[in-house]
Chains A and B, each alone.
Chain A
């Protein structure tokens, strides 16, 4: 009955599973360079964050320029929790699972808090506020000091006044960022998180809430006239989007032994938006592919040295022009029709 929707879900899951199997095979056989292997977890993290953002931008139709801020919240929440867990002798996969859950929960909570004033605004104004939010989160965390010792957690702000007892450890050192993080994220964990995210997003879209979100975007007045609260549906999309951003941040954080808050700056938010727009608003498979390509591409262009970002920008523009070219689209459609006609003919002859 829902063939088009089901198809979208099946296609994106197939893409992800296929990519996972191929990449795993390449890792096993040693055909994947160290550089690419090191990019696998970040790609998964960015895919999760971009899928969440697509729910907000593509389905809810609200421009959000602060998704990196939610990744940041997830990342630093998970660093602190991992510190606590490690101090209590818990390591490995349980740390990863708990940290992702905590990062997601914290980002969702903050998302809900700021959605109250933010979603009263629309369009450009909303975009400006989310942009400011991302910057505020970055500045706050950039000035945050956090350490752990036998007495528990210690926090300080702007200047480091923490004096740790014997055996204590700094978790976050202001502008120096998070240090000594236990790197427990794996490609498999990232893959599982991407699959879970896809299921969450598709299950949400194909439900009462998903219909309300799309309806509120398509026609506010009509949606209200049939008893749908616009603010409630927009809040829901925003909170789930930030929740996924938080989970992505946690996965990202636990992949590096150290990272700084400025990693999640305005540029990252814009990049996430680029992944979503390039992949297609509301198009999950497109988001996955564009994220993977655009995270890997700048690394592949390193041999260009100083011209790297210049070429990256040119490639980006070319991709956008090509993917929106009506002539090429029609040609692709014709080719598709021809192929399916040939297949039918072939099948008929085989009978």
Chain B
């Protein structure tokens, strides 16, 4: 079935070395349109390093990354985002001193086109585009149940809400592919349950592909259509949740001999 869908992200033989240490090697995977894909593995397996290569925080040593058929080799972090990859971070990276609404509006940066001059002199285009940005940002906040908190300072939000705000900010850049780095970390079971619903809703509503790293197996097995397991930077297994759960190699990597 998946062959008929168009690939959004195609990674081929991806690898990176830090000095003499090979952190990730020979990773290949393909995320299709509107797919929720899981990347799992024990601590230190290199999952976040993969995200950092996708967003060009690190430049890969080997292999290719294609976004909708376009190679990202010569792009930097900013260009990768403009091309359609948005991400969240394992250790939350919000703009802690800004309001919740402004965090999302900052995500709309490249959506707004008025110039510095127009903003200083408050010309009509400024007012119109700011109003549009407010509306868009509020719509995103509503999806994540944060519309009541729009005027609060982001740093004062509880942990779970900060995670949701980070996803809202990433979505504000209208990505084709959303990377979520441990979105459920620090959430209680009820919050995780809600998050699963939200992730599915985001996929359906925005029609985007989602690649996520997660340790919460209930979430991974519950919403991912396919999963890749990494161990010591190498691909250990790839398949549907059922295949992964029943793979003896995976069980060994997680639980030991």
B-binding residues in A (CB < 8 A)? 1-4, 199-200, 203-204, 207-212, 214-215, 218-219, 221-229, 236
Q: Is B25 an interface residue (CB 8 A)?
A: no
Closest chain-A Cβ to B193's Cβ sits at a distance in Å of 27
What residues of A have a CB within 8 angstroms of the CB of B101 in the complex?
1
- Chain B: number of interface residues, binned into ranges: 35 or more
Query: Is the Cβ of B116 less than 8 Å from the Cβ of A209?
Result: yes
Given A222-B94, A228-B109; A200-B120 close (CB under 8 Å): yes
Q: Is B110 an interface residue (CB 8 A)?
A: yes
Q: Is B143 an interface residue (CB 8 A)?
A: no
Interface residues of B in 111-135 (CB under 8 A from A): 112, 114, 116, 119-122, 126, 130, 134
Query: Is the Cβ of A207 less than 8 Å from the Cβ of B89?
Result: no
Q: Is B237 an interface residue (CB 8 A)?
A: no
Query: Is the Cβ of A208 less than 8 Å from the Cβ of B119?
Result: yes
Picked from B77, B96, B121, the residue with its CB within 8 Å of the CB of A218 is: B96
A-binding residues in B (CB < 8 A)? 55, 57, 77-78, 81-82, 86-87, 89, 93-98, 101-102, 105-107, 109-110, 112, 114, 116, 119-122, 126, 130, 134, 150-151, 169-170, 172-173
Closest chain-B Cβ to A25's Cβ sits at a distance in Å of 31
What residues of B have a CB within 8 angstroms of the CB of A214 in the complex?
95, 97-98, 102, 106
Task: Give complex CA distance A255, B156 in Å.
Answer: 48
What residues of A have a CB within 8 angstroms of the CB of B112 in the complex?
208
Of all chain B residues, the one with the shortest Cβ separation from A199 is B120
Closest chain-B Cβ to A307's Cβ sits at a distance in Å of 41
Query: Is the Cβ of B86 less than 8 Å from the Cβ of A218?
Result: no
What residues of B have a CB within 8 angstroms of the CB of A224 in the complex?
77-78, 81
Task: Give complex CA distance A317, B150 in Å.
Answer: 39
Query: Is the Cβ of A225 less than 8 Å from the Cβ of B95?
Result: no
Closest chain-B Cβ to A17's Cβ sits at a distance in Å of 19
In the assembled complex, 11 residue pairs joining A and B whose CB atoms fall closer than 8 Å, in A order, are: A203-B119, A204-B120, A209-B119, A211-B98, A214-B95, A218-B94, A218-B98, A224-B78, A226-B107, A226-B170, A226-B172
